[in-house]
């Protein structure tokens, strides 16, 4: 130490040793801290600064106007290449949830099940975490502690969490809530393109002449992306493939209202028609793909009669759709949760990819097989959460990858597990089976969002020790917690988000976290020190330090960001899309897409046609439960489990605050239900009360309930895609009756 001040690790260890007093302000203010919420000194107190919105994956930039070091208002950034001066209601209200009265402002411990959470000092909270988790590991093995992370925190924090748990604490299993939204696309891209590589840039919304949305409702779920469609000057034909007549379907030229979960039949039937009519790009197929002949053979049985029978779509409409795709010069295919959240989501996503490949609609402006991400940093999670992938898109099972990452981080290669984590559903199953005894949940709300909620609650109760790290102490999940760690929210810390088009954007601290709430980054630092592995993270002093480490981890991978100098470069260029290898140059405000040279990330540089016969829908409507329940986003003013958007009176005035169920008029008549009547919706797993909303938006035999209400997942059926383990929230059997 050369007589200098004691290192952070030494100070934190001391803190945990003599944990009687409050955390010293000195420790909380150490480099990279932002603890107790001080605004970074580089920011002038009355300056206008920017932050990337912390809700959805669009990644809009917001101008934040400061007074006396605090954010007082915001506006949408006009010069940012993503949102071009636009923001949706959530973005305009991004600051409001920070001042909610139920913010977690001090650590809280529950000393007995059913007792109340009681405030404790940070030092006691850290000691409780370490003591309880270590005792569990000693008794039941290292693998008996797991974590559930999130797509809502910056990538530097995700990486810290993944590295701390797996390399520092010996934890084997951790997953993210991104399993609930993006896992399907990850697997589909990896198998088809050789890497999890969404190929597009948002400019493609404005360049296409045919835009096909499959299981996607951007008017509601990604409003700024929809605004980009509206800026398209090529008079595009918009096609929406969705069982519901969604807001986007109502704006489209062609709505294809297929039966729920019949997508594979439709997409294979389309592929067959394209082949039969020779509406193919033979040059592209020959030069850049594998397995096309086998695919042609595979789709041959999907003749229009079969497709019509399974999907409810007429042969004429199928033909019209195939012709529209054929006649388009620049056709783009976009999908989101209607595809991803399915019992056969991966093969469905790949059926979309196959359409783009066989028609040569990839690697050119206005084209692509394009998965739209869900959360603000789902893409960051895919690359840097250290759960399914080793940091930087590497494989845990590959010895060269382990060696490379160990070198980049400066750790012993031996501490890196040789297997990826269990998926979220396997972790839940592990709790049920008594294999997982301690769980650490960070910035997600499992008790609300996990499929088949009744079971999820029982599973959480089985844990010996549950830690919830969150902005709020009132979430449905915090009600099960033994320890709550108060965390800063988006706007109270800095780091990078990676949006749907692979753009790294910088989010900054513009507000002070309340009370003793700390950035997740700071909490990880403190826990590393308290656990006794702080030395491993000596270089992880600030989010930007970690960014530099992650650059090294990404080097020579398809997601290489080694050419991004620092945060300032990201800020000045309006975000930067990956890849940007060292030595490469990037024009200001560039829009870049992948595979322009037809070279994919597979060993031979060719994309693969991947396909498989459809699987039976896990739970279909029957005599007792005659309706198919669809779930999805309710309005552009709501976000997921509403822990944040539910705090804004402005947003709450923009959607129904009581649970509601959309019912087709024919069904409403036969049951005797009218709009605003209370109805009971029941599945084999539970029942809820909801106001009826009678509407042609849903087809007869189907009902729709937004995902945001706390009771919705009491109904959902726990089935999963076999390859991605993503839950299938979108179709289960329910009954409906007047309340
Ligand atoms: Fe943009 Fe999404 Fe934020 Fe709305 S929620 S402002 S669309 S990033």
User: How confident is the model over 137-159, as a mean pLDDT?
Assistant: 97
Best CA proximity match to 424, nearest among 457, 442, 402, 446: 446
pLDDT score, position 374 = 87
Counting ligand 1 atoms within 8 A of each CB, the residue from 62, 90, 221, 640 with the most, and so the one to mutate, is 90
Dist. CA 200 → ligand 1 center (Å): 18
pTM, entire model: 0.94
Contact predicate 676/503, CB 8 Å:
no
pLDDT score, position 587 = 65
The per-residue pLDDT for range 69-85, each reduced to its tens digit, is: 889 999 999 999 999 99
Buried b (16+ CB within 10 A) or exposed e, 64-83: bebeebebeebebbeebbbb
Dist. CA 309 → ligand 1 center (Å): 39
Residue 565: C-alpha distances to residues 159, 433, 569 (Å) = 19, 47, 6
What percent of the chain shows pLDDT beyond 70? 93
Contact predicate 163/325, CB 8 Å:
no
Contact predicate 54/157, CB 8 Å:
no
**Ligand 1 nearest-atom number relative to CA 62:** 6
**Ligand 1 nearest-atom number relative to CA 76:** 6
Dist. CA 241 → ligand 1 center (Å): 24
Dist. CA 708 → ligand 1 center (Å): 17
Best CA proximity match to 99, nearest among 511, 638, 654, 479: 511
User: How far is Cα 167 from Cα 197, in angstroms, rounded to an integer?
Assistant: 27
What residue owns the CA closest to ligand 1's atom 6?
91
Largest CA distance in the chain: 83
HSE value, Cβ hemisphere, 13 Å, CA-based, for 65: 7
**Ligand 1 nearest-atom number relative to CA 499:** 8
Dist. CA 72 → ligand 1 center (Å): 19
Contact predicate 560/553, CB 8 Å:
no
Best CA proximity match to 637, nearest among 65, 213, 51, 56: 56
pLDDT score, position 42 = 52
The per-residue pLDDT for range 105-144, each reduced to its tens digit, is: 999 999 877 799 999 999 999 999 999 999 999 999 999 9
Dist. CA 74 → ligand 1 center (Å): 13
pLDDT score, position 342 = 97
Counting ligand 1 atoms within 8 A of each CB, the residue from 92, 97, 151, 223 with the most, and so the one to mutate, is 223
Contact predicate 406/112, CB 8 Å:
no
**Ligand 1 nearest-atom number relative to CA 87:** 6
Dist. CA 497 → ligand 1 center (Å): 13
User: How far is Cα 664 from Cα 667, in angstroms, rounded to an integer?
Assistant: 5
**Ligand 1 nearest-atom number relative to CA 376:** 8
Contact predicate 37/496, CB 8 Å:
no
Dist. CA 60 → ligand 1 center (Å): 6
pLDDT score, position 588 = 59
**Ligand 1 nearest-atom number relative to CA 225:** 7
**Ligand 1 nearest-atom number relative to CA 88:** 4
The Cβ of residue 294 has, within 10 Å, a number of other Cβ atoms equal to 10
Which is more confidently placed, 379 or 723? 723
Contacts of 322 (CB under 8 A, 6+ apart): 270, 273, 274, 277, 279
Contacts of 571 (CB under 8 A, 6+ apart): 50, 506
Torsion of CA 301, 302, 307, 309, to 10 degrees: 10
Dist. CA 90 → ligand 1 center (Å): 6
pLDDT score, position 418 = 96
Residue 397 falls in which region: left (phi positive, over 0), alpha (psi -120 to 50) or beta: alpha
What's the Rg (C-alpha) of the chain? 25
User: How confident is the model over 667-689, as a mean pLDDT?
Assistant: 98
Tell me the pairing of strands 465-470 and 108-109: unpaired
Dist. CA 617 → ligand 1 center (Å): 33
Which is more confidently placed, 5 or 250? 250
The mean of the pLDDT values for the chain is: 93
User: How far is Cα 299 from Cα 119, in angstroms, rounded to an integer?
Assistant: 61
**Ligand 1 nearest-atom number relative to CA 222:** 7
Secondary structure of residue 438 in the 3-state scheme: strand
Per DSSP, 648 falls in state -
Dist. CA 312 → ligand 1 center (Å): 35
What residue owns the CA closest to ligand 1's atom 1?
60
**Ligand 1 nearest-atom number relative to CA 52:** 8
**Ligand 1 nearest-atom number relative to CA 91:** 6
Counting ligand 1 atoms within 8 A of each CB, the residue from 75, 91, 202, 372 with the most, and so the one to mutate, is 91
Contact predicate 594/559, CB 8 Å:
no
Q: Name residue 70's beta-bridge partners.
A: 67
pLDDT score, position 10 = 52
The per-residue pLDDT for range 421-470, each reduced to its tens digit, is: 999 999 999 999 999 999 999 999 999 999 999 999 999 999 999 999 99
Residue 635: C-alpha distances to residues 90, 378, 638, 639, 652 (Å) = 10, 20, 6, 8, 10
**Ligand 1 nearest-atom number relative to CA 58:** 8
Dist. CA 94 → ligand 1 center (Å): 9
Dist. CA 394 → ligand 1 center (Å): 30
Vertex 248 angle, CA 247 and 250, to 5°: 65
- What is the phi/psi pair of residue 733, to 5°? -95, 130
- Ligand 1 site residues, Cβ closer than 6 angstroms: 53, 55-56, 58-60, 83, 87-88, 90-91, 223-224
Dist. CA 491 → ligand 1 center (Å): 14
**Ligand 1 nearest-atom number relative to CA 94:** 3
Per DSSP, 375 falls in state B
pLDDT score, position 590 = 77
Name the E strands within 633-729: 660-663, 678-683, 686-694, 702-706
User: How far is Cα 307 from Cα 265, in angstroms, rounded to an integer?
Assistant: 6
What residue owns the CA closest to ligand 1's atom 2?
56
The Cβ of residue 605 has, within 10 Å, a number of other Cβ atoms equal to 14
Dist. CA 84 → ligand 1 center (Å): 12
Dist. CA 542 → ligand 1 center (Å): 26
**Ligand 1 nearest-atom number relative to CA 89:** 4
Contact predicate 546/160, CB 8 Å:
yes
pLDDT score, position 584 = 86
Counting ligand 1 atoms within 8 A of each CB, the residue from 88, 225, 489 with the most, and so the one to mutate, is 88
Q: How confident is the model at residue 34 (pLDDT cuts 50, 70, 90)?
A: very low
Best CA proximity match to 339, nearest among 327, 355, 328: 355
pLDDT score, position 591 = 87
Residue 605 falls in which region: left (phi positive, over 0), alpha (psi -120 to 50) or beta: left
Dist. CA 53 → ligand 1 center (Å): 6
User: How far is Cα 237 from Cα 253, in angstroms, rounded to an integer?
Assistant: 6
Dist. CA 59 → ligand 1 center (Å): 6
The Cβ of residue 696 has, within 10 Å, a number of other Cβ atoms equal to 11
pLDDT score, position 17 = 43
The per-residue pLDDT for range 570-627, each reduced to its tens digit, is: 999 999 999 999 998 766 557 899 999 999 999 999 999 999 999 999 999 999 999 9
**Ligand 1 nearest-atom number relative to CA 56:** 2
Dist. CA 739 → ligand 1 center (Å): 37
What percent of the chain shows pLDDT beyond 90? 90
HSE value, Cβ hemisphere, 13 Å, CA-based, for 558: 22
As given in the structure block, the two tokens for residue 112 are: 């007995």
The per-residue pLDDT for range 482-528, each reduced to its tens digit, is: 999 999 999 999 999 999 999 999 999 999 999 999 999 999 999 99
What residue owns the CA closest to ligand 1's atom 4?
88
Counting ligand 1 atoms within 8 A of each CB, the residue from 51, 218, 219, 224 with the most, and so the one to mutate, is 224
> Crossing angle, helix 292-299 and helix 345-358, to 10 degrees?
110
- Per-position DSSP letters for 444-498, written without gaps between them: --HHHHSSSHHHHHHHHHT-SEEEEEESBS-STTGGG-SEEEEB--TTSS-EEEE
């Amino acid at each position: 130490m050369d007589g200098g001040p004691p290192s952070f690790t030494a100070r934190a260890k001391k803190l945990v040793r003599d944990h009687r007093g409050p955390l010293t302000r000195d420790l909380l203010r150490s480099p990279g801290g932002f603890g107790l919420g001080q605004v970074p000194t580089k920011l002038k107190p009355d300056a206008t600064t920017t932050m990337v919105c912390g809700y959805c994956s669009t990644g809009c930039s917001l101008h934040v106007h400061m007074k006396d070091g605090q954010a007082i208002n915001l506006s949408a950034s006009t010069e940012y290449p993503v949102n071009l001066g636009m923001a949706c209601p959530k973005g305009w209200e991004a600051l409001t949830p920070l001042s909610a009265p139920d913010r977690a402002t001090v650590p809280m411990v529950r000393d007995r099940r059913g007792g109340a959470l009681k405030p404790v000092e940070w030092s006691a909270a850290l000691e409780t975490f370490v003591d309880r988790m270590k005792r569990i590991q000693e008794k039941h093995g290292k693998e008996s502690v797991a974590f559930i992370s999130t797509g809502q925190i910056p990538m530097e924090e995700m990486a810290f969490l993944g590295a701390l748990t797996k390399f520092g604490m010996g934890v084997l299993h951790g997953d993210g809530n991104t399993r609930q939204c993006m896992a399907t696309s990850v697997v589909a891209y990896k198998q088809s393109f050789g890497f999890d590589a969404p190929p597009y840039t948002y400019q493609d919304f404005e360049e296409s002449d045919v835009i096909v949305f499959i299981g996607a409702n951007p008017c509601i779920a990604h409003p700024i992306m929809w605004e980009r469609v509206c800026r398209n000057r090529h008079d595009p034909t918009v096609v929406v493939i969705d069982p519901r007549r969604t807001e986007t379907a109502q704006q489209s030229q062609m709505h294809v209202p297929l039966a729920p979960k019949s997508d594979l039949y439709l997409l294979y039937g389309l592929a067959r028609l394209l082949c039969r009519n020779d509406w193919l790009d033979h040059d592209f197929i020959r030069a850049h793909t594998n397995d096309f002949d086998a695919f042609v053979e595979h789709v041959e049985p999907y003749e229009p009669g079969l497709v019509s029978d399974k999907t409810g779509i007429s042969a004429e409409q199928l033909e019209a759709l195939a012709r529209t795709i054929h006649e388009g010069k620049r056709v783009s295919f976009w999908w989101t949760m209607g595809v991803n959240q399915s019992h056969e989501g991966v093969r469905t996503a790949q059926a979309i990819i196959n359409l783009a490949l066989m028609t040569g609609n990839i690697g050119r402006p206005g084209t692509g097989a394009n998965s739209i991400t869900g959360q603000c940093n789902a893409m960051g999670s895919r690359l840097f959460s250290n759960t399914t992938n080793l940091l930087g898109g590497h494989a845990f099972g590959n010895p060269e990858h382990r060696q490379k990452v160990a070198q980049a981080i400066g750790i012993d290669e031996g501490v890196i597990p040789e297997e990826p984590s269990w998926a979220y559903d396997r972790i839940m199953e592990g709790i049920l089976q008594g294999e997982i005894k301690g769980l650490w949940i960070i910035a997600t709300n499992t008790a609300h969002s996990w499929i088949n909620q009744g079971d999820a609650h029982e599973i959480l109760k089985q844990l010996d020790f549950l830690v919830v790290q969150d902005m709020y102490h009132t979430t449905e999940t915090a009600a099960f917690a033994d320890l709550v760690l108060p965390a800063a929210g988006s706007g109270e810390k800095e780091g990078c988000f990676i949006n749907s088009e692979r753009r790294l954007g910088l989010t900054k601290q513009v507000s002070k976290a309340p009370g003793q709430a700390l950035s997740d980054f700071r909490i990880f630092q403190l826990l590393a020190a308290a656990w006794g592995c702080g030395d491993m993270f000596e270089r992880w002093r600030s989010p930007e330090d970690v960014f530099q480490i992650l650059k090294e981890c990404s080097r020579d991978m398809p997601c290489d960001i080694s050419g991004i100098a620092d945060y300032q470069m990201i800020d000045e260029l309006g975000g930067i899309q990956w890849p940007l290898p060292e030595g490469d140059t990037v024009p200001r405000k560039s829009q870049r897409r992948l595979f322009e040279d037809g070279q994919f990330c597979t060993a031979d540089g060719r994309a693969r046609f991947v396909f498989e016969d459809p699987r039976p829908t896990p739970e279909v409507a029957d005599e007792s439960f005659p309706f198919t329940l669809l779930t999805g986003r309710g309005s552009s003013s709501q976000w997921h489990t509403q822990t944040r958007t539910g705090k804004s009176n402005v947003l709450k005035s923009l959607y129904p605050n009581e649970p509601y169920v959309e019912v087709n008029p024919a069904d409403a008549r036969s049951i005797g239900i009218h709009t605003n009547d209370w109805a009971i919706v029941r599945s084999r797993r539970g029942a809820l009360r909801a106001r009826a909303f009678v509407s042609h938006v849903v087809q007869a035999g189907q009902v729709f309930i937004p995902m945001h209400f706390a009771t919705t997942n009491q109904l959902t059926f726990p089935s999963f895609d076999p390859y991605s383990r993503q839950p299938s929230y979108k179709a289960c059997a329910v009954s409906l009756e007047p309340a």
